[in-house]
Structure 1
């Protein structure tokens, strides 16, 4: 029986704790430097509309990378110093490819914060950053088969080989993870808060699987090595980004977080389980589709609207003429209104009908359902939703799956 390597895990946690202390100091120092360089953003949901230093996510991301660089020898010390045979080159290459993909995404995220890249670039760049990951997966594992639910086994068999479609799936998974956090943002603490819940859910899943299945030990250790430092450094960032925010995390943090989750999900061989932890992000993405694809007119910013008189947030709206909508757009708007997902108002201006609808995001939907609320309360509500979703994901993964699969690993 292969034992859990305690020394690398303890070293990982020690480096992570040291990195967290360093992050707290450097975020404070660099926030002043960023402000001097006018690398700032306006806090739209405050009466003061103060300028906040950004993107501070690049600081914690850099510290995270330093932790990983210092940690690289630790998982392999038995082979390096004790002269054990058969050095695990496949694990070493996987580790380096994960580091490379995350590092690439941090660089691209920082470029987006500075250059304000267009959406087509935001979709293309994660795909490029994932290529090292896909190549290593193809060489080391090349497992493209998926288990088929019991109900469909008479048609497809117990296992179905997706072939190249599986690589398309994991490539799209990386694109989704990096952008899903980015579009589910806009209030103090939400980006870091949701990411921390996902990271802690991954750690809990890794620990459960290590205790359950010896055969998957190396996969989940790999995930822990990457995720634990992230939790330590991001907890510090949350302290600075929590209401009232003293720093903004920027797109760098969102891309960095998304790529990290994609790396551990793909190379840790639990990409489908990973998606279960992204349920609020999936819901937000599905809600956003009509505006993302311009079926419904999409304003530049879909942040909640701040009411200075009450110091509360209400849902923001998109305003457009009725004749701007295609027939498909009108049916889409009616569908979302029918199920209570958006609020729609009509008014006559001159000879034209003007439509006003709440923006298609989960944040605005929460404000529509629960009414205006303080920014801090809204952040707590949405992070609580993330926690409940993760608990439901564990229920699906370990209990409900028994009704669809013969073996639940």
Structure 2
């Protein structure tokens, strides 16, 4: 039995989720979980680094140092909660913060300072999981479908796991294998829009969108985005879906109430997810949702309505794992795979030329 910590800070830029997990063969047991919020200044700087700007190299390095401090806080909280010591942990597996994702140009960049994190924690750190897959011709994303299969797969029961973070992706789990890809925006546009108009980081339980009404014409306009029609494997991020992209589509809709736009963005996430599930879901009659979107009841209801009564839509809590802990657990699993010299990617998902061991080791 070995213990690994997984740390994930995703496209929503809200903070870092951590999970301490025990691995015993095929058995995965969650020991503890923690969350450390980013301060507004760090969140703003990470958001600014999503686009080209002055003095980027120094600013990114300083942001990476701050990130490492927050990651170390999360590790300390997990150790405190579980009563474990640093020497009890085989490794900390950390995703880093994506600031560029351009696999079509042969790179993806997750800001991080894993050397500093190893120094702060006194634990081996495994980082930079995506670049090895990209080097092998893959998208570097999504990486979670292999973990979803390990944790949630069940023989004879085809099912879909939908992760609705900043970007949404699906994992299709069936006896024929595992497939998956990024379907489009999850919460990234929703968070950006409410941030602009109400100075809130996210739309808690979809309350603001519930006060608006769907604008069918705008929804149809957004659905013309070429990315949606691309064949898998494919992945996306803030490089495509951001407020400037949205503003370009809103030029003919300047008269709309902001809450109506928010309600339409909810439907956009639901429709793009549902379309992907219908086309690639391999006859699955259950969809389990993880990520922050699982806590938005308006979004969950919209997804359920799009898929129809014949498909169960529930959060991964129904399978025993809180929706906001799945990705951190996934990176603990990827760290375990790295240490065991086992592949962490799925070429059928990412398009890589073959199985690859993911991540780079920074010894304590």
- TM-score by structure 1 length? 0.27
TM-score, structure 2 length as denominator?
0.29
Higher relative helix content: 1
